Amino acid sequence: MNNDRDQQQKPKITSMDSIENSQDQKLNNKAAPKKKDEELFLGEKKFRTGLGLFTLLFAIIGLTLSTSSLAEEEATAEILNRSSEFIESGLTVDTDIQLEPRDFEVTGFTNGSGSARMLIWDYLGDSNNEVQILVDGQPIRELHVLNSNVAAYSVPVPSVVTIRGLSTTGAQPITYAVKFPDRKQTLFNAVPTNGVNQYTLVPRF
């Protein structure tokens, strides 16, 4: 009987290893969902980042196309106006623009009895049309080939600069632009073969 009583009253002993294993299992069970949540969060974050970059890329492409189209329209309007103060040198357009030959007087040069830079290029691109450039009737360039590359010449002020058309690769007049950086002014013009345009440069007194 005593043995039976001792067996009934004898406390149950749980080893430390069992306790630690149980605690580790509980921690693992809690950590597993947390790890899955972290993986889901990271995956969602990457997806949103990728989607954001993709959307931004399309927005930039759309803005670029819109800006290019607008710039072409604005540039065409400026060319038709024949004069512009904000168009950059070397600008070209794809629109076929027909202009009548015209002479210009360019005033306001601050360096009277000095010189000014004149830039010249073909605003319709690489036409390879040929012109002659003269200052006060004297050639400073016997043959200049017009294209989208900007060429620079030093011309005296005051003076009269003449652009004479030599040959064209097409039936249309030779198109070109001249810019005087001192005046921040770009002029758009056309000259027929064997025809001339004159630019009278007047200093400010």
In the numeric block, which tokens belong to residue 98?
């027909």
Burial class (CB in 10 A: 0-12, 13-18, 19+), 16: exposed
Residue 105 has pLDDT above 70, yes or no: yes
Q: pLDDT category, 2, cuts 50, 70, 90?
A: very low
Residue 187 has pLDDT above 50, yes or no: yes
Residue 73 has pLDDT above 50, yes or no: yes
Cα 94 to Cα 188: distance, rounded to the nearest angstrom: 15
Other Cβ atoms closer than 10 A to 151? 14
pTM: 0.65
Other Cβ atoms closer than 10 A to 91? 19
Instruction: Report the amino acid identity of residue 26.
Output: K
Between 19 and 184, the more confident residue is 184
Cα 179 to Cα 89: distance, rounded to the nearest angstrom: 7
Residue 158 has pLDDT above 90, yes or no: yes
Other Cβ atoms closer than 10 A to 163? 24
Q: pLDDT category, 64, cuts 50, 70, 90?
A: very low
* Yes or no: domain 104-203 corresponds to CATH 1.10.3470: no
Q: How far is CA 27 from CA 31, 39, 41, 101, 178, in A?
A: 6, 18, 21, 89, 80
Residue 28 has pLDDT above 50, yes or no: yes
Q: Return the percentage of the chain with pLDDT > 70, whole number.
A: 64
Lowest mean pLDDT segment, chosen from 14-28, 34-48, 66-80, 88-102: 14-28
pLDDT by residue (tens digit) across 114-146? 999 999 999 999 999 999 999 999 999 999 999
Residue boundaries of the structural domains of the chain? 15-81, 104-203
What pLDDT is attached to residue 71?
82
Neighbouring residues of 204: CB distance < 8 A, sequence distance ≥ 6:
107, 108, 109, 110, 112
